[in-house]
């Protein structure tokens, strides 16, 4: 098992990444993965890390932990065993939705994870909420959100709202004080041209949770938070950027956001889930980006590790080319996931992995296979063999393999 490569990939990954991606950040991310930072930022700093005129954030709203009882009780006890697919806002608001609903109607699939705040930071429908309008620049990708929710109900679809949290170019551009600013005053962007907003800032927390609350009012039964992390390789640039901060370690900040979101949403009877890179179950915490698998999992109802076989490198789980052996790769990842989470006892969340329904041709000749019916079924069978009976299928274009037996 290549731990160094695993740490690197965990630092780079998120649910929407279907390729090796972020190649230009590999060096910085690798160094951060192998050499996690040991320094602690100081609260209330007026140094170059705090934008001029921008006071340090007040104590995080998560400073008072949510009541333990909220973590022990499933807010959706009658929810089905979720077997779902990812649906972009474009698909949800367009003609593709007919095909996707037909797929669920004729198979054991029963859920859709729909973009409500997408990877760019756009709210994907026209909200009437004035604050959300000002912060998020809502788009009309889903033309009639209420009509969509009605259709989902008619087809007995369990609806999950995907909200991309700290990767948010829209909010960063409109409110640089909520983001990370370069010395020249410009908003920092990664090599892919994306900006992040500051996880230290409680206004960012509240904004995303307010979107979640509106999604619940619309009828979504679960809120799935993605990109719940700092930017890749953040610790390497932490001292060069200007932003508000506190003295709390990054892994605690991210865990506290999740705890805060859970506490705020608990009275609404909605589940809270978080996407996390699959490697997180097999390696130590990624201090640089602030993700700790156990700390996050303890504060959610559902954890969704992204265990795409294509994202594991040579040697993982004793497999030469993990993409070519989906059963062994998924089985190994679930063994590690249980080992990591079993000590949580009653705090252990539902494990609902993202699995692969796409072909990873970028891996190069000899290192990948074309994914179809057999490969998808192999992944589901591996999950079942490790007592995991829920899953989500990822395909960025929402083109899913036909004739799959989802009850392996």
Q: Please give the average per-residue pLDDT across 255-281, as a whole number.
A: 95
Question: Could you tell me the pLDDT band of residue 408, with boundaries at 50, 70 and 90?
Answer: confident
Tokens of 122: 């756009």
Contact between 5 and 313 under an 8 Å Cβ cutoff? The reply is: yes
- Distance of alpha carbon 313 from alpha carbon 352, whole angstroms: 22
Confidence tier at 15 by pLDDT (50, 70, 90): low
User: What is the SS3 string spanning 222-253?
Assistant: EEEEECCCCCCCHHHHCCCCECCCCCCCHHHH
pLDDT for residue 205 is more than 80: yes
Q: Which of 22-26, 55-59, 123-127, 198-202 is predicted with the least confidence, judged by mean pLDDT?
A: 22-26
The answer to whether 82 and 303 are in contact (CB under 8 A) is no
Supply the pTM of this predicted model: 0.86
Please, which residues have CB within 8 angstroms of residue 167's CB and are 6 or more apart in sequence?
14, 119, 121, 194, 195, 196, 227, 231
CB 313 within 8 A of CB 238: no
Predicted confidence band of residue 285 (pLDDT cuts 50, 70, 90): confident
> What is the arithmetic mean of pLDDT over 250-272?
97
Q: What is the spatial distance between Cα 216 and Cα 198, in angstroms, rounded to a whole number?
A: 25
In tens, the pLDDT along 61-109 reads 543 444 444 446 899 999 999 999 999 999 999 999 999 999 999 999 9
pLDDT at 131 over 80: yes
What pLDDT is recorded for position 3?
Answer: 44
Q: What is the 3-state secondary structure (H, E, C) of the chain?
A: CCHHHHHHHHHHCCCCCCCCCCHHHHHHHHHHHHCCCCCCCCCCCCCCCCCCCCCCCCCCHHHCCCCHHHHHCCCCCCCCCCEEEEECHHHHCCCHHHHHHHHHHHCCCCEEEEEEECCCCCECCCCCCHHHHHHHCCCCCCCCHHHHHHHHHHCCCEEEEEEECCECHHHHHHCHHHECECCCCCECCCCCCCCEECCCCHHHHHHHHHHHHHHHHHCCCEEEEECCCCCCCHHHHCCCCECCCCCCCHHHHHHHHHHHHHHHHHHHCCEEEEEEEHHHHCCCCECCCCECHHHHHCCCCEEEEECCHHHCCCCHHHCCCHHHCHHHHHHHHHHHHHHHHHHHHHHCCEECCEEECCCCHHHCCCCCCCCCHHHHHHHHHHHHHCCCCCEEEECCCCCCCCCCCCCC
pLDDT, tens only, 23-66 = 233 333 333 333 333 333 333 332 334 333 343 333 345 434 44
Among candidate residues 9, 14, 351, 55, the one with its CA nearest the CA of residue 166 = 14
Q: What is the mean pLDDT of residues 157-182?
A: 98
Mean pLDDT of 137-152: 97
Mean pLDDT over all residues of the chain?
A: 86
Residue 297's pLDDT is what?
97
Bigger pLDDT: 203 vs 63: 203
Per-residue confidence at 172, pLDDT binned at 50, 70, 90? very high
Task: Tell me which fold the domain 3-71+82-394 belongs to.
Answer: TIM Barrel (3.20.20)
Give the per-residue pLDDT at 61: 53
Q: What residues does each domain of the chain span?
A: 3-71+82-394
- Kindly state the average pLDDT of the residues 372-376: 98
pLDDT at 59: 38
d(CA 100, CA 187): 38
Longest dimension (CA), the chain: 60
The region of weakest confidence among 31-35, 137-141, 214-218, 299-303 is 31-35
Of 9, 62, 15, 70, the C-alpha closest to 298 is: 70
Confidence grade of residue 22 (pLDDT, cut at 50, 70, 90): very low
pLDDT recorded at residue 127: 97
- Which residue, among 130, 172, 161, 155, has the nearest Cα to 273 in the 3D structure? 161
Contact 162/392 with Cβ under 8 angstroms? no
Q: Measured in Å, how far apart are the chain's first and last C-alpha atoms?
A: 28
What's the confidence (pLDDT) of residue 287? 87
């Amino acid at each position: 098992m290549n731990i160094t490569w695993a740490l690197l990939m965990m630092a780079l990954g998120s649910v929407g990444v279907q390729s090796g991606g972020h190649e230009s950040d590999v060096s910085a991310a690798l160094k951060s993965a192998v050499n996690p930072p040991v320094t602690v930022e100081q609260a209330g700093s007026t140094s170059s890390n705090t934008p001029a005129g921008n006071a340090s954030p007040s104590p995080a709203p998560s400073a008072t932990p949510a009541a333990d009882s909220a973590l022990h009780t499933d807010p959706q006890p009658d929810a089905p065993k979720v077997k779902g697919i990812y649906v972009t806002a474009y698909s949800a608001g367009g003609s593709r939705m007919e095909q996707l609903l037909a797929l669920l109607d004729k198979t054991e699939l029963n859920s859709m994870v729909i973009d409500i705040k997408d990877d760019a930071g756009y709210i994907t429908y026209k909200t009437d909420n004035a604050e959300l309008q000002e912060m998020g620049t809502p788009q009309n990708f889903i033309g009639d959100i209420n009509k969509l929710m009605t259709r989902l109900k008619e087809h007995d679809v369990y609806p999950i709202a995907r909200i991309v949290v700290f990767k948010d170019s829209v909010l960063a551009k409109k409110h640089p004080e909520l983001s990370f600013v370069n010395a020249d005053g410009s908003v920092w962007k990664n090599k892919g041209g994306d900006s992040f907003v500051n996880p230290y800032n409680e206004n960012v927390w509240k904004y995303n949770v307010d979107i979640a609350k509106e999604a619940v009012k619309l009828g979504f039964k679960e809120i799935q938070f993605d990109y719940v992390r700092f930017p890749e390789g953040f610790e390497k640039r932490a001292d060069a950027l200007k932003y508000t901060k506190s003295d709390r370690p990054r892994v605690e900040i991210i865990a506290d956001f999740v705890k805060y979101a859970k506490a705020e949403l608990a009275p609404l009877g909605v589940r809270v889930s978080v996407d996390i890179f699959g490697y997180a179950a097999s390696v130590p915490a990624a201090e640089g980006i602030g993700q700790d698998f156990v700390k996050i999992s303890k504060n959610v109802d559902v954890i969704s590790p992204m265990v795409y076989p294509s994202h594991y490198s040579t040697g993982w789980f004793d497999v030469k080319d993990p993409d070519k052996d989906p059963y062994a790769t998924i089985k190994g990842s679930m063994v590690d996931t249980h080992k990591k989470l079993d000590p949580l006892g009653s705090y252990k969340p539902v494990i609902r992995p993202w699995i692969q329904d796409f072909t990873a041709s970028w891996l190069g000749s000899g290192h990948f296979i074309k994914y179809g019916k057999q490969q998808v079924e192999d992944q589901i069978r591996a999950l079942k063999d490790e007592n995991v009976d829920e899953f989500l299928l990822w395909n960025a274009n929402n083109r899913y393999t036909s004739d799959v037996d989802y009850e392996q």
